[in-house]
Amino acid sequence: MKRATLVRMGSTALLTAGLAMAMAMPANAAPVTSDAKEIQAALQRDLGLTPQQAESRAQQEKVAWSVEKTVRIALGSDFAGSRFDAKSGKLVVDVADASRVAEVRANGAEARVVENSEAELNATASKLSQKSAPKSVTGWRVDAATNAVVVSVYGNDAAATTWAKSLGADVRFEHVSVRPQTYWDLIGGQAIRTSSGSRCSLGFNARSGSARYVITAGHCTELGGTWSGSGGTIGGVSGTSFPTNDYGRITVSSSSAVQTGLVDRYSSGSDVRVTGSSAVGNGAAVCRSGSTTGWHCGTVSSTNATVCYQQGCVSQTFRTNVCAEPGDSGGSLVSSPSGSTVQAQGLTSGGSGNCSSGGTTYYQKINEALSAYGLSLVTG
């Protein structure tokens, strides 16, 4: 019998990532799309609005922005900005000439007389782009509420004032205690790298209270070091179990790294949203995502398989005919047993073969890892 060679999808040849209000409407009203319903639901949640209040606000804003277009054209150079006022449910229009107030009110908006026109404010903001800002400057904006250009400064650096004056810009300053930062998503199946240079794949995101973690293969986390993803640093290893098991966790210490319940399908389509981790049985269709070979699918041939590597054996894994290659280690294995929801199943461990000729791959069960660490899966 020809002997198959088992390959750990990680370590030196390291695998990098795993896998797979209805409201009555007038007869002449346009139908409410599903996306619009999602926005109304979010407004209710985040602004503390009832369904009726959310609907009322949507109608008020529709009227307000229609009025804004008309008034902006009519006022010309005297237009100084506008904003929707949630308390009154009306548009507030700033005018640089008091004689234009009645005109604004005749269009159903409230009026406020201010010193600077919108054109003047925009010109001031443009001046600030003409010369590199000191590192203490975290941004600037045209602020309708104060009819001014406001420069945000981290700390009390006098250089910010000197910089603005050197450009002849008449601005207001505000001091901020935290610098802005970019945000990036932690998505299953995408590449993660350790400071030693090895690559694996992100499995799933999990939490315990306010503590945040990335779950991936244990033969990856045993390498230690600081791990990074597509947007920068994730954090350090805070748990590893390999062999016997093949799971580990990386603490998400970067405030810019945003946990998601998503798994990357690469060229096969948009990301899928994981909604839970109900385990499937033998014969189940599954897909996995990994940073080397992307998205591949197959079936489960055993839900209780032991795979033995040179470093030791890993037991109670899923055995599948889904292919994988080095770098895919730790990546997400998912299923959609109901055809409507996506369930997390496991983490790519290792196997034999490749994605050109096919192969056999083993997956550490995700529920075992979550239970061992007392974690909750981050879902979509």
The answer to whether the peptide bond before residue 243 is cis (omega within 30 degrees of 0) is: yes
How far from each other are the two terminal CA atoms of the chain, in whole angstroms?
46
The structure tokens listed for 223 are 């390498």
In angstroms, the Cα distances linking 28 to 31, 33, 41, 55, 57 are 9, 15, 23, 17, 20
Catalytic residue among 246, 264, 271, 328: 246
Pairwise CA distance, residues 220 & 231, whole Å: 19
Is 219 annotated in the active site? Answer: yes
φ/ψ of 46, rounded to 5, equals -90, -25
Is 78 annotated in the active site? Answer: no
Pairwise CA distance, residues 23 & 130, whole Å: 50
Is 329 annotated in the active site? Answer: yes
Contacts of 60 (CB under 8 A, 6+ apart): 84, 89, 90
Pairwise CA distance, residues 55 & 23, whole Å: 9
Catalytic residue among 78, 117, 201, 219: 219
Catalytic residue among 117, 228, 329, 335: 329
DSSP string, 72-115: HHHHGGGEEEEEEETTTTEEEEEESSGGGHHHHHHTT-EEEE-S
Catalytic residue numbers, as ranges: 219, 246, 329
